[in-house]
Structure 1
Amino acid sequence: MNCEVCQLEELEVEHFEIREVLRCILHTILFHRALGLVRPKDVDLELFEITYVQCGDMELEKKIDEKINQFIDRVEKHPNKKNQICLSFYEMKNKQATMTWFTNKVERSHWEQWYINLNVVQQPKVHSGKSHHSKLVVDPGESSALEERSHRRAALEASLREVLFQIIKFVNERKDHVPPIPNLEGVSFPYEITISSSSDSAFGIDMFKRMLQTGHPTMLS
């Protein structure tokens, strides 16, 4: 089956930005692949001047937050590595067994995969510049660090907007591979979220090839 792959532009984030960035991207993808009637919910990001839309489904939000927690846990255990989340949509298909005494197997046939790439960086802490016995002391080095962080935040916001535009462009241009709407409950096509880092042998292009060949990405337990 034809599986369309979208490799989203890499984003450089600090640890405290991970949750908002991933929520924004994952919910945006799932909203554009939503089934039937949904109750759209606008969400304003706290760290950026960006508003995105969720499907308004509590179960979906819970699953996404669980995966983000797993991702953050992985980042903390493996710092200074680029990390990747893959959101895969699939169909359930019966696979005819070759031997008559085996029952039919049901397998997942992936038809679309989204790769979210984050480079989590460690930024030096910026002190307030206050001393115990004096007025506000402006340290030129700290002022420069604050200015640099402000520029970096603005750059990340612009990059995140570009990723959202990339998602919308992909959804609008790639439609022929989307399967018929399944007779399943829920607001989304069946999906799964997998996590990997740059230390994994299946990272990057090698991961694409392996997953497209097998159709069974390894789930993070």
Structure 2
Amino acid sequence: MEATYPTITVDLILDRFTTKDVLHGVLHSILFHRLFGTIKPTSFEVLDVTMPGVADPEMEQLVNEKVDAFWRGIEGGAKRGQILVTFSERKPKKSWFQVYMGEEDVPWEQWVINAELKQQRSDQERQNLHSTLAATLTKTIHTMLSHTSSERGRSAVPLITNAAGISPFPIQISVKVGDVEIG
């Protein structure tokens, strides 16, 4: 079944020294652009790129757990992984006979972060990777801004009927390394 909601893909090539910081910054930036409650903004410096974030203990814990899960999967020897951030809305679930059967989460947008770990053999290779990664992060922030402010990005957001909390919508962040879901 093909997704009818927007899927935004971010491709990153990382090294062991920057993986956690980069993923932390990218996840926070996605949340910053898609949380609709009252948030306290913050920012992160990652490879001289300023990335927006959310100063909320619950979101910080969620991001740290998922970045750590990704790191544990990569430590196991895999070189590629994925972090999926799915925003959903709660809708009534009905059976065939229109009988109310509870609620279900229906996705309205998904962000896919494809991350690949590369080993550098020299300081020159590391510097080249870091400068390329900084440019990729800048492009990623631009993509986030373009998408969330575009007509398609704005129209994907369902009506906000619950103003309680930092997010009126369920957020699911899943980590896959080697096609196996972790954490």
Identity, % of aligned positions: 29
**1:146 matched residue in structure 2:** 123
5+ residue gaps, structure 1, are 125-144, 202-218
Aligned-CA RMSD value: 2.2
Note the 1:1-221 alignment, pairs <5 A: 2-8=4-10, 10-45=11-46, 48-80=47-79, 82-98=80-96, 104-124=101-121, 145-173=122-150, 174-183=153-162, 185-188=164-167, 189-197=169-177, 199-200=178-179, 220-221=182-183
5+ residue gaps, structure 2, are none
Rounded Cα–Cα distance in structure 1 between residues aligned with 2:77 and 2:141: 27
Q: Is the 8 A contact 1:89 1:192 kept in 2?
A: yes
Q: TM-score, normalised by structure 1?
A: 0.73
C-alpha deviation, 1:103, in angstroms: 6.7
Q: How many residues align?
A: 178
Rounded Cα–Cα distance in structure 2 between residues aligned with 1:40 and 1:3: 27
Greater RCO structure (CA 8 Å; 6+ sep): 2
Query: Highest CA radius of gyration, 1 or 2?
Result: 1
Q: Is the 8 A contact 1:97 1:105 kept in 2?
A: no
Cα shift readout 1:184-209 (whole Å, capped 9, x = no counterpart): 53212321011223x429xxxxxxxx
Off by >4 Å, runs of 4+ in structure 1: none
C-alpha deviation, 1:122, in angstroms: 2.2
Rounded Cα–Cα distance in structure 2 between residues aligned with 1:33 and 1:14: 28
